Structure 1
Amino acid sequence: MPSALDSFTSQLQHVATQPNNARLAAYDSLISDLLQQSSSKLNRMDLLKASSAFLRHAVFSDQNSTGGGLVIGRQALTALEYHASRIAEEHELQRRDKDRMQDDDDDSTPAIADRDTRRQLLEDALEQLQPKAISFEEQASSLRMQLASLLESEEDWNEAARVLLAIPLDSGHRNVSDHFKLSIYVRIARLLLEGDDPVAADMYLKRASMIIHNVPGALPSQYQQQQQQQEQEQAAASSAAGSDDVAEASSASVASSSKQKLEDPKVLGLQYRLSQARVYDSQRRFSEAAIRYHELSYVAEIDEDDRAMMLSAAVTASILSPAGPQRARTLATLMRDERTPSLPQYTILSKVFLDRVIRPDEIASFEKLLSPHQIARLAPSSAPGPASSSSATADGKAMRHAPSTVLDRAMIEHNVLSASRLYDNITLAGLGALVDLSPEGAEDIARKMIMQGRLKGWIDQVGSLSTTQTGSQGSGVLFFIDQDRRGEGETTAGGLEATKMENSGGDGSGGGAGGVGEEGAGAGASSGDIDTKWTRRWDQQIAQVTGALEDVCQRINRVSATTSIAA
């Protein structure tokens, strides 16, 4: 509509000749009437051309973008943003009512109600605003927030986050409250998590953690104390550096900022904690994620279905967390929760809690409930040793040397811990058969768990070294130390403590074994040499095995003699 566009342009030029106190009301009336016109009278392209003319003549003209007229330009841009948002929301409500009434009359629909049209209008406004961004910082932030909401509704998560990233939060030209900064950081983190970028999301969550304690009501008291303790020095430094900027902020910017709608601090705090749990989960820090998810599952303000999802996420993360005391505490808390029996993971949760061996079919059933990052493949690894690349079972099947996925690693570590509840000791070959790994791979897993304090035990490789030198295959033995089960002392990283049996000098398991234990105990008491203790222990084990072997031979001889007499 060239004549209508020319008429609208001439009206803008006429308003420019009016005094300041009359121009703002005229601009507001013009843009409101323009955006309310139906699409049958004003199509998409004509609307965009008219709005572009409004920006040139009413907002970014020399008269309204410099000096005393800058206030008029800012308010004219705010009017454009406000009426575009208001008319679109009103039409959305009317459309929903029409859908309920089954009314398909859309002749009165304004062009601005179309999301693509509104998105293009906002993008054009931001593009024209760019050369004078410093003068229109507050208005640019509002435009970007509205554009990000449109992109978020279209599930264009990364683009919405990119739009919000351009909002200046540390500008010296206006006062930006910590509440506003927190809302932007948390929103960016949520969008990046939806866009599958947890690394960038973690960076903005860390920025949020530095200011969240300055927003009253955002965190519970225990979180408030933790955040204040961690960030006290940085907050003091930033407040001292920014005091001059705050004093120089203009009153107009403060008034405009106060009009922005900010989310409730408690809602922001919940979003922050949920985003933190999701980041921990994506980073495979499952222990921390399980604790955060479980805490959120008790928050009454969250919808019941969402709380059930968080409880389920807490159970899954606890099962995938590294086997050890910390996981045991988390599992015990979840088992006491009366809501967990209704979850599909309850069967495997109870088995993990009771330290039972998890079978492959149970692992396969649990795998169907996991997210892609929870079953992601690990970096390839080979077992140590010269024969690691050619290890194979007796039937020629190749043996794995390391876990292949995140789930596989969690289940292997759990089964190693379960073996410590079933056996006093186990050969590394037997442990490898239990967890479907080569002896070298099983030894590597057990060694890491012992070094990290998640498994009490020690590995005896003397037998392995001796048999390797003679040409036969040896795998070593893993001895478990369980204080609750056998009353033995705590283990160290090297496993160099004597057990009560060694300190008392034998347990009466056989004449040969007892003699060795008593003799060694006297030597140990006199010299106090720790090497002597472990030599004595090795001799005692040899005596026990020899005594058991002699007993088996005697039984075989008795059975043979009885058979020959009967014949």
Structure 2
Amino acid sequence: MSVGAEDAHEKMVEHLRLAETALQANDLTEAENNVTRASMFQTQINDEDLKIRYKALYARILDKNNRFAEAALRYYDLSARPNLTSSDKAEALQNALNCTVLAAPGMHRTRLLKLLVKDERVFNFVGFGIVQNMSKEKLIDPALLPQFEASLKPEQKIKDKDGNTLLENAVLQHNLLAVSRIYKCVSFDDVSELLGIAPDMVEKAVTRLISTGSLAGEVDQIERLITFDEPEKKSPIDWNSYVISVCDQTNKVNELISAYHPEWYAQHGQAR
């Protein structure tokens, strides 16, 4: 190992150590700052085990920070690494599946779903039925949830101020999107009965989805009706290559910004 490579190796190890320590202390900002600094030395080292340590750590940081789509992509990348054991690959793949289910609705989750439903390795995994229904935009049967929830990490089971878990919110949002494929116009009460939730929760969730652009439609609070717009038709895209390309480029930009401007990134980077 050359002097330059040895120095890069030592710096990468040190930044990963600091990131791991920060993650254990639940200081996610410091953890991400250090892991992105570590990424700057990847091209200067040939230690594949260290590179995998970096990738796994970054995935865990994103996961714990509820940035599930980004975490899912990194876990999925890990699951294909040839120098991982079969059990480690399976764990990374299960983590990728779990994070995909928990991710916010949108094009990134859609593309991840398309990757997973075509991957024969996950056909017998816990939660594959949920992934299938999400990919096909079908309603998710609540009976599928208990076993899947048991596979989640403790921090993925936290509840929001309304007492709902991340999984419950993710499934509710998906089911509302599925309802929008069935109905053009529907009342709060009908959706409430269909999904087994309170009408007020229906209104709140639909309003949130519309405001974030995840759902096209309008809410009539007086008539208590939801009117869904027709989804836009998009030209076919090779999702497998596109998702990897776009997300990889985005991650690289984030890593460069964080490494060279950590203070700015700590203040502004988490808002994306």
Q: Deviations over 1:41-99 (max 9, x none)?
A: xxxxxxxxxxxxxxxxxxxxxxxxxxxxxxxxxxxxxxxxxxxxxxxxxxxxxxxxxxx
2:199 corresponds to 1:439: yes
2:170 corresponds to 1:410: yes
User: For the Cα contact (< 8 Å) 2:69–2:100, is it kept in 1?
Assistant: yes
2:84 corresponds to 1:306: no
For residue 215 of structure 1, report the CA deviation from its aligned partner: 4.6
Which of 178, 183, 188 is 2:18 aligned to? 188
Call closer, same or farther: CA 1:345–1:437 in 2, change over 3 Å: closer
Which of 177, 181, 205 is 1:421 aligned to? 181
For 2:166 and 2:42, locate their aligned partners in 1 and report how far apart those are by CA, in whole Å. Answer: 38
2:108 corresponds to 1:326: yes
Q: Which residue of 2 aligns with 1:335?
A: 117
Structure 1 residues 538-549: aligned runs within 5 Å: none
List gaps (5 residues or longer) in structure 2: 1-5, 234-272
For residue 484 of structure 1, report the CA deviation from its aligned partner: 5.8
For 2:43, what is the secondary structure of its paired residue? coil
Q: Which residue of 2 aligns with 1:209?
A: 36
User: For the Cα contact (< 8 Å) 2:56–2:75, is it kept in 1?
Assistant: yes
Which of 209, 225, 246 is 1:477 aligned to? 225
Call closer, same or farther: CA 1:299–1:215 in 2, change over 3 Å: closer
For residue 205 of structure 1, report the CA deviation from its aligned partner: 3.5
For 1:482 and 1:345, locate their aligned partners in 2 and report how far apart those are by CA, in whole Å. Answer: 29
Letter of the 1:295 partner, please give it: D
User: For the Cα contact (< 8 Å) 1:286–1:320, is it kept in 2?
Assistant: yes
2:150 corresponds to 1:364: no
For residue 416 of structure 1, report the CA deviation from its aligned partner: 0.5
Which of 371, 378, 394 is 2:160 aligned to? 378
For residue 344 of structure 1, report the CA deviation from its aligned partner: 2.3
Q: Which residue of 1 aligns with 2:255?
A: none
User: For the Cα contact (< 8 Å) 2:64–2:155, is it kept in 1?
Assistant: yes
For residue 211 of structure 1, report the CA deviation from its aligned partner: 5.0
For 1:209, what is the secondary structure of its paired residue? helix
For residue 287 of structure 1, report the CA deviation from its aligned partner: 1.0
User: For the Cα contact (< 8 Å) 1:198–1:279, is it kept in 2?
Assistant: no
For residue 350 of structure 1, report the CA deviation from its aligned partner: 1.1
Q: Deviations over 1:178-202 (max 9, x none)?
A: 4312202212333554x4x3325x4
For 1:376 and 1:366, locate their aligned partners in 2 and report how far apart those are by CA, in whole Å. Answer: 15
Letter of the 2:76 partner, please give it: H
Which of 200, 216, 221 is 1:456 aligned to? 216
Q: Which residue of 2 aligns with 1:273?
A: 55
Call closer, same or farther: CA 1:184–1:407 in 2, change over 3 Å: same
Q: Which residue of 2 aligns with 1:179?
A: 9
Measured on the aligned residues, the alpha-carbon RMSD in Å equals: 2.3
User: For the Cα contact (< 8 Å) 2:42–2:51, is it kept in 1?
Assistant: no
For 1:379, what is the secondary structure of its paired residue? coil
2:68 corresponds to 1:286: yes
Q: Which residue of 2 aligns with 1:125?
A: none
For 2:226 and 2:67, locate their aligned partners in 1 and report how far apart those are by CA, in whole Å. Answer: 28
User: For the Cα contact (< 8 Å) 1:325–1:454, is it kept in 2?
Assistant: no
* Rg comparison, structure with higher value: 1
User: For the Cα contact (< 8 Å) 1:185–1:205, is it kept in 2?
Assistant: no
For residue 307 of structure 1, report the CA deviation from its aligned partner: 0.8
Q: Deviations over 1:259-309 (max 9, x none)?
A: xxxxx5432222111111111111111111111111111111222210111
For 1:355, what is the secondary structure of its paired residue? coil
Of stretches 318-327 and 304-313 in structure 1, the one that deviates more from structure 2 is 318-327
Structure 1 residues 473-512: aligned runs within 5 Å: 474=223, 476-483=224-231
For 2:129 and 2:170, locate their aligned partners in 1 and report how far apart those are by CA, in whole Å. Answer: 16
For 1:326 and 1:208, locate their aligned partners in 2 and report how far apart those are by CA, in whole Å. Answer: 23
User: For the Cα contact (< 8 Å) 2:187–2:225, is it kept in 1?
Assistant: yes
Alignment TM-score, normalising by the size of structure 2: 0.76
Q: Deviations over 1:176-233 (max 9, x none)?
A: 934312202212333554x4x3325x41341342353245345xxxxxxxxxxxxxxx
For 1:183 and 1:358, locate their aligned partners in 2 and report how far apart those are by CA, in whole Å. Answer: 43
Matched positions, count: 228
For residue 326 of structure 1, report the CA deviation from its aligned partner: 2.2
For 1:306 and 1:211, locate their aligned partners in 2 and report how far apart those are by CA, in whole Å. Answer: 22
Q: Which residue of 2 aligns with 1:198?
A: 26
Q: Which residue of 1 aligns with 2:246?
A: none
Q: Which residue of 2 aligns with 1:49?
A: none
For 1:327, what is the secondary structure of its paired residue? helix
List gaps (5 residues or longer) in structure 1: 1-175, 219-263, 381-402, 465-473, 486-567
For 1:319 and 1:409, locate their aligned partners in 2 and report how far apart those are by CA, in whole Å. Answer: 10
Call closer, same or farther: CA 1:211–1:191 in 2, change over 3 Å: closer
Identify the structure with bigger relative contact order (alpha carbons < 8 Å, sequence gap 6+). 2
User: For the Cα contact (< 8 Å) 1:178–1:212, is it kept in 2?
Assistant: no
Q: Which residue of 2 aligns with 1:497?
A: none
For residue 342 of structure 1, report the CA deviation from its aligned partner: 2.6
For 1:447 and 1:325, locate their aligned partners in 2 and report how far apart those are by CA, in whole Å. Answer: 19
For 1:483 and 1:372, locate their aligned partners in 2 and report how far apart those are by CA, in whole Å. Answer: 36
Letter of the 2:37 partner, please give it: M
User: For the Cα contact (< 8 Å) 2:8–2:44, is it kept in 1?
Assistant: no
